[in-house]
Structure 1
Amino acid sequence: MPARILLIDDDALTMDIVSAALTSKGHAVDTAESCLAALDLIKHNDYDLALIDYQMPDIDGLAAARLLQTLTAQTHVPRLVALTGNIDKLKGQAGADDVFYDVLEKPIAPAELARYVDRTIGETDYGRLANLARALWRERGFEQAPRAITVPQPSREQAMMLSLFFEPAEGGAADCIVLTKETGVDELERLRGLDGHYTLPIVDLSGKAGKLADVSLNAASPADWRNVADTVARFSGNRNRLEHRFLRSENLRDQLLAYLYVAGRTFSPILDASKPSCVTYPGCLPADAVQAAEALASQGFLTKRFADRFYTCGSCQSKRLSVREECPSCRSADVEMSEVIHHFRCAHQAPEREFRSGSHLICPKCRTALRHYGHDYDRPGQVLICHACGAWNSEPAVGFVCLDCGTHTDGEAIASQDVHSFELTAKARRVLTGDAMPATPDAPQQARPAAAHEGRTADGPAALPEQLLSELHALGLDTAVHDSGQIIEITYGGEIGLIERYGFPAFAKLRRLFRENLANLLSDYGRVVSGEESDFLILLEEEGDLPLFLSKAFARAQESLAEGLRPEFRVMEQEEVAVAP
């Protein structure tokens, strides 16, 4: 179990031998040849154990230990272990038991000392934390600590802390990536595309990555340690469900789909003023991952939703813009709203500043003093005054100034750009996990039992789609519908091929027309209901030869379509119908 150890000894040879023995066990060792040098090191570093030679030239070991405890009382004081050739003499001194955690007799073999350190470290705070970490991983099915890649290289303190919880990744195999500094984000983006690292969770140790990472880690927070353990375990379990081709793909679209699946999150924009685009997306994937998401949405693998709208600079495309009120005449921002005063006697109207003379109001036209509001004058409204050109206007104009290149754009001419969030569809999940329904040449085909109703779980049937529930309730039907009729799930064997050739919008249009034709044909027999991944047919009466009946209906419903959908059907089982009361 690695720890940080301070060795205090005036014998350089002894320090070299002991240091080498402890370092070979993975411990980090600092050395000091005097008490004063040790004091400076302890003030600036956290040590788990300090080994002190009792016979020091400047001050004996007991006095040195007392001095270290006194002067570092406000910092972390390591356990102090004395090394001496005369144990009885040292233990006979008053207060030795209170100062030293233990006393070891010299000479001591380096290997024996290393074993002693391992035992002792297990009893320290460091050791207790390490035991807690091992317990967390065992609870989540890990036989040993997960392997972590650190980006960039951690500081010495970070490395010691991480050694509590992770094993260093070697040979490319890893279970997570730890971001130690915010400056490592660019390096992390390059790393994500290598060796399947896009499926690994990002653990933010820097405290700066925020939602960009999958989980944050504050070393002092037990709750954070548990969250990290849960996240790494969740990613590992989801990776095991992925089809093999998605584990090490060089295709960015495959990488994005795989990441969203193992992370269990949406691909949603995160505000980031450090970038001209003002947004970034989770996962630290390459910048063109957004274009990949757009393409996947057009193919039906992602659902695209509006997230926000930004205005963009026409010169450099930056979204970092200063929005301001301006003078419509000269576009200066040096404007202010002023009350307008109307003098009843001479009918003069002007901004208040033109009437103001010290604490009095004097009409600039007739030089009459205005004393009584409502009798001498009133305030009919406000006017925008430009201090640059002197123009008066009733309303300000809106202008934009780019903070990156300084270009000014009028509000009427500014371009806008929407940003979107993306979420995996059920179709994408089936493809990712190898549960996609195969396309078949014949139509219609009765779907295999394995292609059961989407959302079905091991604990029982999932709720029916909301549209189907509403239609069943409208028809006055409940789970007894199977006593006289049938609920048919319709899927489309030609879906994948059509999307690949023509895009998702074309497939969706064909599906909508097919649904409309089928509903018109079977209006006397039941209802057609649209769903997200499949459609449904409610037959009010059970048909004797259902395959023949549907074959004819499906064929007629496709007559006017430019391409065939190859519809497939499945009769839903009684236990799948979970209609709310």
Structure 2
Amino acid sequence: MHEYGDLIRIQDRQQAAEDPHPDSGPIFEAVQRLSSDFGPNKPRATFFPGSVLSHSRLVRQFFEITKSGNPDAILLTDLDRFESFDNHRAEYSLVPVINISGSPTHLADADLVPDDPQSWRDAAAIIRRFRTRREMLPATFRTAATPAIRMLAYLFVSGKDLTPVRVPQSRYFFAYQGFQNTRATITLAEALADAGMLRRSFVDRHSACPNCQSHRLVVREECPACRSANLSQAAFLHHFSCAHIGPESDFRQGSALICPKCLKQLRHYGKDYDRPGDALVCRKCAGTTTEPAVGFQCQDCDAHIDGDLIKTVDIHAYSLTDHFLSRLSGKSSAGVRPASGSINRLPPKLREQIGRFVGKTGSSRRGFVAKLDYASRHDIARTKGDDAFQALRQMFKDRLQGLLADTAHVHSSTDGDYVYFHSLTPEEFKDSSEQILAECDSVLSVPLRPKFEITWVGSGEETGG
């Protein structure tokens, strides 16, 4: 540790004469004020990669540079050397990455530009936000022992959604802010969304190579016969007497038009011939068409895919569900994680609905709540798109509400679909539940394979379905 500090001090002395940011002036004073605002808790930072490179003394004026301990930020110094960034990020998943490399990157939570005062203010605000929200996390999530916990905790302390950003260098043509491995990030986020911890939001739809999964595809018009993209547009002539239709270039002989089929000269437009329009001519096989095929060429594996065989992939952003956000912030049950079966586990609007029903009827029997789970959700969203699943889900809910009539109410929230059975007990419902679900599922073009899980009972009992 002493050796590391000595290297920094030596470098400071070497740079002092030529440092573009002297120990005075508006920028230096602004950075000094921001640093003093933190009081005795000056932000601690570690460099990544760990080598000591040429950094502005402004950075070391603002941060306390450390090689160990609990930093408040990771300072990203070199974008060409972050092969092990995921491992480093896993170790410090609850602190922001501040990019000081001079080149923008999706891996960072903020880009720090030494000459820009607003850049310093933004970095300071992000560090404060991470600090504040990190303290709100329950102890289970502060340790961040698994990738799932790390992702959930990071989304909470960052105060941001998991959002795709355009990255042309990526084979997927996008990446997620703050994460290096796009495929692993999607797999984990989808699993958390299926578990009701994250909420999906549609962003875009990409075509994907079925061979290597790359999204970097060139779409092009092709000859339907040989699939060549070497097409040219040509004006066509129609010779009335022999009914031959072909490119004008086939008829042209000098200044005259001679039919290549019957060798007669075409003299009068409208009497000997007409122009039916343009068509595409393939320079490879000489075929002609007015309806070219659509094809895709993968830029990563060079595979060719016919347009009707290409698959599409929906790109989503992910955000913490209301329930899980409350759990992470420690706001549910006065900062204590609710026990299984507690009404506080239910979405706020559903709790309000239960309260209104009890207040209106004066009934001490408050029924029970069952949550719907759709076993086919992931498969349908993957093969047909999330819009298809949402349409099937809505049809199912409408049918279910119709069958239950006045005995229950179907409630939807960001956490999922719930049914509040205000006039039945779990025992009364148990005998008919499978029949009701099967009847609702049978009218759908693609089965959702629904099942109920009883999550709350009015008497306070804990039960599961």
Q: Do the structures match in fold with TM over 0.5?
A: yes
Residues 1:384 and 2:280 aligned together: yes
Q: Deviations over 1:88-145 (max 9, x none)?
A: xxxxxxxxxxxxxxxxxxxxxxxxxxxxxxxxx4xx23xx544422422455x55343
Report deviation, 1:175: 0.7
Structure 2 residue identity aligned to 1:254: I
Report deviation, 1:482: 11
| Counterpart position of 2:146 | 251
Structure 2 residue identity aligned to 1:406: D
| Counterpart position of 1:352 | 248
CA distance in 1, matches of 2:55, 2:86: 21
Give the alignment of 1:65-144 within 5 angstroms.
121=23, 124-125=24-25, 129-139=27-37, 141-144=38-41
| Counterpart position of 2:169 | 274
Residues 1:561 and 2:433 aligned together: yes
Q: Give the 3-state SS of the residue equivalent to 1:267 in structure 2.
A: coil
Residues 1:318 and 2:217 aligned together: no
Report deviation, 1:424: 0.9
Give the alignment of 1:409-488 within 5 angstroms.
409-434=305-330, 435=332, 436-440=337-341, 447=343, 454=348
| Counterpart position of 2:115 | 220
Report deviation, 1:370: 4.5
Give the alignment of 1:37-48 within 5 angstroms.
45-46=18-19
CA distance in 2, matches of 1:397, 1:556: 60
Q: Deviations over 1:456-483 (max 9, x none)?
A: xxxxxxxx79x98xxxxxxxxxxx9999
Give the alignment of 1:534-573 within 5 angstroms.
552=424, 556-557=428-429, 559-561=431-433, 565-568=454-457
| Counterpart position of 2:55 | 158
Pick from 135, 156, 160: which aligns with 1:240? 135
CA distance in 2, matches of 1:142, 1:487: 57
Aligned residues: 412
CA distance in 2, matches of 1:24, 1:333: 59
Higher RCO, 1 vs 2 (CA within 8 Å, ≥6 residues apart): 2
Structure 2 residue identity aligned to 1:292: L
Where does the alignment leave 5 or more consecutive residues of structure 1 unmatched? 1-21, 32-40, 50-120, 455-463, 469-479, 539-548, 571-581
CA distance in 1, matches of 2:41, 2:255: 82
Q: In 2, are the aligned partners of 1:198 and 1:285 still within 8 Å (CA)?
A: no
Report deviation, 1:383: 2.3
- Aligned Cα RMSD in Å? 4.3
- What is the TM-score with the length of structure 1 in the denominator? 0.60
Report deviation, 1:256: 0.6
Report deviation, 1:209: 3.5
Pick from 492, 505, 520: which aligns with 2:405? 520
| Counterpart position of 2:445 | none
Report deviation, 1:410: 2.5
Report deviation, 1:504: 9.1
Aligned CA distance change for structure 1 residues 560 and 379 (closer, same or farther; 3 Å): same
Aligned CA distance change for structure 1 residues 512 and 233 (closer, same or farther; 3 Å): same
CA distance in 2, matches of 1:247, 1:405: 42
- Tell which deviates more after alignment, 555-564 or 231-240: 555-564
Q: In 1, are the aligned partners of 2:323 and 2:415 still within 8 Å (CA)?
A: yes
- What is the TM-score with the length of structure 2 in the denominator? 0.73
| Counterpart position of 1:472 | none
Q: In 1, are the aligned partners of 2:109 and 2:178 still within 8 Å (CA)?
A: yes
Q: Give the 3-state SS of the residue equivalent to 1:437 in structure 2.
A: coil
Q: In 2, are the aligned partners of 1:192 and 1:285 still within 8 Å (CA)?
A: no
| Counterpart position of 2:75 | 178
CA distance in 2, matches of 1:409, 1:381: 30
Q: In 1, are the aligned partners of 2:204 and 2:316 still within 8 Å (CA)?
A: yes
| Counterpart position of 2:384 | none
Q: In 1, are the aligned partners of 2:196 and 2:321 still within 8 Å (CA)?
A: yes
Aligned CA distance change for structure 1 residues 532 and 407 (closer, same or farther; 3 Å): closer
Aligned CA distance change for structure 1 residues 330 and 491 (closer, same or farther; 3 Å): farther
Aligned CA distance change for structure 1 residues 360 and 503 (closer, same or farther; 3 Å): closer
Report deviation, 1:512: 6.2
Where does the alignment leave 5 or more consecutive residues of structure 2 unmatched? 1-5, 379-392, 435-451, 460-465
Aligned CA distance change for structure 1 residues 278 and 362 (closer, same or farther; 3 Å): same
Report deviation, 1:520: 2.4
Question: Percentage identity across aligned positions?
Answer: 30
Report deviation, 1:297: 1.0
| Counterpart position of 1:292 | 188
Q: In 2, are the aligned partners of 1:276 and 1:318 still within 8 Å (CA)?
A: yes
CA distance in 1, matches of 2:277, 2:398: 58
CA distance in 1, matches of 2:363, 2:318: 32
Structure 2 residue identity aligned to 1:149: T
CA distance in 2, matches of 1:491, 1:403: 58
CA distance in 2, matches of 1:341, 1:198: 69
Q: Deviations over 1:511-556 (max 9, x none)?
A: 9699849962448xxx765444598999xxxxxxxxxx95756664
Report deviation, 1:384: 2.1
Q: In 2, are the aligned partners of 1:235 and 1:263 still within 8 Å (CA)?
A: yes
| Counterpart position of 1:108 | none
Structure 2 residue identity aligned to 1:439: S
Q: Give the 3-state SS of the residue equivalent to 2:47 in structure 1.
A: strand
Structure 1 residue identity aligned to 2:308: E
Structure 2 residue identity aligned to 1:438: A
CA distance in 1, matches of 2:200, 2:143: 26
Report deviation, 1:260: 1.0
CA distance in 2, matches of 1:408, 1:535: 42
